[in-house]
Amino acid sequence: SQQGEEDPQALSIQEGENATMNCSYKTSINNLQWYRQNSGRGLVHLILIRSNEREKHSGRLRVTLDTSKKSSSLLITASRAADTASYFCATDARGGGADGLTFGKGTHLIIQP
Amino acid sequence: KAGVTQTPRYLIKTRGQQVTLSCSPISGHRSVSWYQQTPGQGLQFLFEYFSETQRNKGNFPGRFSGRQFSNSRSEMNVSTLELGDSALYLCASSFSSASSYNEQFFGPGTRLTVL
């Protein structure tokens, strides 16, 4: 079963706007990771946030983690056409009843030029 | 540094046949994980190998198996193929520790079609 669930399932915004995607999960985790997938570059790791961290930045990406609510958000600022892709959260709950990284079904982001 | 490579990139098989997929991890990575991606179920974890040993296994039937060689290269095998096995099979390597999954580096995948 899917541990992480992304919201919304699809998002369309204008280039230059910010995009926010949310992820909810069910069990305690070691870390939560965000990945991007597009047809050109496959599945690429974006950022990893550990369970004892609350916020992390990487370039135009900002990730937050709220373990009390079992949720995370990914913010992409100043979006570009190249950001068009599917974004997945993946939870590492090893030792907590889940094996492997558990991926959500993703948010499909479309950046309109 | 070369990325994760997977061969073949595309496969067409018929029901009942078996298939072997290959994955070469990034040099120095000892953990190799396999995932199945379908439109309906999304990305699902198959298994992870570390130092030639299966360390974790997902919820897939025994028809799905794998192994890892001493050079960390990995293969997965699916026997008695079913139509529902049609999917993109992704391999990922990492410096994964025993207690948590670190950043996963994914290969381009093998697209398997079962007719």
Q: How many CB pairs under 8 A join A and B?
A: 62
Instruction: Identify the three-state secondary structure at position A108.
Output: strand
Residue type, A43: L
Interface check for A99 against chain B (CB to CB < 8 A): the answer is: yes
Range A3-28 average pLDDT: 92
CA-CA-CA-CA dihedral for A7, A13, A19, A23, to nearest 10: 10
Mutation target vs A (from B36, B100, B105, B111; most A CBs, 10 A cutoff): B100
pLDDT tens readout for residues B25-71: 999 999 999 999 999 999 999 999 999 999 889 999 999 999 999 99
CB contact under 8 A, A99 and B104: no
CB contact under 8 A, A94 and B105: no
Interface check for B76 against chain A (CB to CB < 8 A): the answer is: no
Provide the 10 A C-beta neighbour count for residue A81.
10
Q: Work out the pLDDT band at A89, boundaries 50, 70, 90.
A: very high
Contact B77, B19 (CB under 8 A): yes
Contacts of B110 (CB under 8 A, 6+ apart): B6, B7, B8, B9, B10, B11, B21, B88, B89
